[in-house]
Amino acid sequence: MKSPAHRTRDIERQAGYLKREHCTPPPPRTGSDTMWFIRDSCGIVCGIITWLLVFYAEFVVVFVMLLPAKNVAYSLFNGVLFNGLAFLALASHAKAMCTDPGAVPKGNATKEFIESLQLKPGQVVYKCPKCCSIKPDRAHHCSVCKRCIKKMDHHCPWVNNCVGENNQKYFVLFTMYIALISFHALFMAAFHFVFCFEEDWAKCSNFSPPATVILLILLCFEGLLFLIFTAVMFGTQVHSICTDETGIEQLKKEERKWAKKSKWMNMKVVFGHPFSIAWLSPFATPDHGKADVYQYIV
């Protein structure tokens, strides 16, 4: 009598049990085949809210705090710094949202394709019954994207996409830049409060004192909330990269079948090889070079 695990493995090795009509179709894709965008209403709303919150912070920082300031050098320096970081944050968000996270080709789990792999006796092939794909090692199926994603960490509604092998760098940069502009906004808001308490409130802002206070309080609430959230997310992502274990693998406590690499090499796998200023750029596609993405224990 076979155990349930053995029965599952036998089913997944049978090439003919999956029929294409049994598969759930993927979500509609927009534009050309090179454009990746998930039409999930929750994710789209979360993405729009993210951009609107950044624009709100831009408005308060520029029009409430910097333009009324008497010190031109202070306004210029902080204006360039904040807007530069905000631009990088939004660019990272757009890249994380519109980059294919590592989707496995759909519908290749056919008998002919499996036979063409020339598998060795006893070698197991895993097939996803939901998207009719041959599931590579360390790939998991996303119920929102309706695809198997290589090295899937999690699905993030705030970027309306999975965080996987191809876009994890952009997601990490997004959390880092949002945390930086949140901290910067909180610092400037605190400095502005102190300045306005010492001076006449009517002279330290182009808005009325009540409106200025409300705008600054809302900015502080937003900045503190986003700082805590993105800083924690940034830390967990860096830890996941250094340990070479995705969030799903940690949650499921999956057996480690891949070789252990150094933390520095794991960082190069995600951000590119070798180390350069391009690590901080959302416009630079990671070049893995000598960094082996998949290295398994033989």
Distance between CA 71 and CA 235 in Å, rounded? 36
Q: Which of 122, 118, 140 is nearest to 130 (CA)?
A: 140
Q: How far is CA 160 from CA 20, 41, 47, 175, in A?
A: 27, 9, 6, 14
End-to-end CA, the chain: 30
Query: At what angle are helices 209-243 and 41-59 packed, to 10 degrees?
Result: 130
Catalytic residue among 98, 148, 156, 196: 156
| Residue 169, token pair as written in the block | 């760098």
Classified as helix, coil or strand, 40 is: coil
Element (H, E) at 264: helix 263-271
Structure tokens belonging to residue 24: 């759930």
Element (H, E) at 217: helix 209-243
Handedness of CA 55, 59, 65, 66 (dihedral sign): positive
Q: Which residues of 255-267 are buried (b: 16+ CB within 10 A; e: fewer)?
A: eeebeebeeebbb
Q: Which residues contact 158 (CB under 8 A, 6 or more apart)?
A: 46, 47, 50
Q: In the annotation, is 204 catalytic?
A: no
- Give dist(CA 263, CA 178) in Å, integer: 24
Give the residue numbers marked as catalytic: 156
